[in-house]
Amino acid sequence: SQTIHQWPATLVQPVGSPLSLECTVEGTSNPNLYWYRQAAGRGLQLLFYSVGIGQISSEVPQNLSASRPQDRQFILSSKKLLLSDSGFYLCALTDRATEAFFGQGTRLTVV
Amino acid sequence: AQSVTQLDSQVPVFEEAPVELRCNYSSSVSVYLFWYVQYPNQGLQLLLKYLSGSTLVESINGFEAEFNKSQTSFHLRKPSVHISDTAEYFCAVIPGYSSASKIIFGSGTRLSIRP
C-alpha cells in the first residue's frame, strides 16, 4: 500500500534561514503529489501540486518553492524564511483518483 | 470550477449526543467524495469514501455519510459521539475520473465533545 515519509517532524528555524522539507513515497508510481500548509486553527492551504517529474503548479504566490526531481520525491524549499512561514506542513499523494494519503506532517516554527 | 463548502467551522456537542457535519460541493463533472479526520499534530486519515454504488457509506468507528446528488451534499453523521471523536474533519472531492484530477478540500470542521 501507499506510504508517505515526511521529515523532520518538528523544525525550529530563524528568520532568514533556508528551508528544505523532503517527502518520499512508496508503494505507487507516478502519483500526484501535494504540499499543504495549516496555520494554527486554520484549514488546509494547497501550496504546490505536481502530476509528474519536473511538473509543479503553484497555487498561491509566496516565499516558497517546490521541486520534484524524482517520481517519488517532492521537496519544499525556501531561500529565506519569514515569520509567516510558520505552520504545519503536510505532504500528500493521490493515485488513480481513488483517495489521498498523507504524511505525518512537519511542524515548522520560524523564530 | 470545483469547490467544497463545510458550513460549520466548529461544532460543539455533548458526549453520547448525535452529530452532523455538513458538506456541500460544486462540480460540473461527477466526483468521488471523502471525509478525512485529523487528530492534533497528525496528518489526515481517511474516514470514509464514496466512489460508486450505495450512496450510504460507513466507517469502522460508527460514522456514516450519504451522497445526495440532487443536493450536491455529503454530510457526515454519527448517532452517538465519544470523547475520542474530538478532532478536525475535512470533506474532500476528486472531480472527474482522470488520474490527473486534483483533490479539493473543504475548510474543515472542528468537532469538540463535552463530557
The pLDDT value recorded for residue A2 is: 86
**Number of structural domains found in chain B:** 1
A39 part of contact set with chain B, CB < 8 Å: no
CATH number for the domain spanning A9: value is: 2.60.40.10
Identify the CATH number of the domain in which residue B104 sits.
2.60.40.10
Q: From the list A34, A99, A105, which residue is nearest B42 (CB)?
A: A105
C-alpha cell at B35: 471525509
Kindly list the strands in the beta sheet with A3-7, ordered across the sheet, starting from the edge strand earlier in the chain: A3-7, A19-26, A73-78, A65-70
Mutate to test the interface with B, among A49, A51, A90, A94 (most CBs of B within 10 A): A94
Q: Which of A90, A97, A98 sits opposite B98 (nearest CB)?
A: A97
In the predicted model, what is the mean pLDDT of chain A?
A: 91
Q: What is the pLDDT of residue B100?
A: 67
State the average pLDDT over residues A19-38: 94
**Distance from the Cα of residue A66 to its chain's centroid:** 8
**In this predicted structure, what is the pLDDT of residue B12?**
96
Range of the domain at A38: 3-110
The pLDDT of B80-87, averaged and rounded, is 95
Give the pLDDT mean for B85-89. 95
A15-27 pLDDT, tens digit per residue, is: 999 999 999 999 9
Does the beta-carbon distance from B102 to A94 stay under 8 Å?
yes
pLDDT per residue as tens digits for the range A62-86: 789 999 999 999 999 999 999 999 9
Best-predicted range by mean pLDDT among B27-41, B66-80, B94-108? B66-80
For position A35, what pLDDT does the model report? 95
B34 touches chain A (CB under 8 A): yes
Whether the ω angle into residue B18 lies within 30 degrees of 0, i.e. cis, is no
Q: What is the mean pLDDT of chain B?
A: 91
Strand partners, A6: A23
Q: Quick one: which of A100, A87, A7, A85 has its CA closest to A39?
A: A87
C-alpha cell at B109: 470542521
For A87, the enclosing helix (H) or strand (E) is strand A87-94
Q: Is A12 exposed, middle or buried (0-12, 13-18, 19+ CB in 10 A)?
A: exposed
Domain count, chain A: 1
Residues of A in contact with B100 (CB under 8 A): 32, 51
In tens, the pLDDT along B37-77 reads 999 888 899 999 998 888 999 998 899 999 999 999 999 99
Check if A88 contacts B (Cβ < 8 Å): yes
Residue B108 lies in domain: 3-114
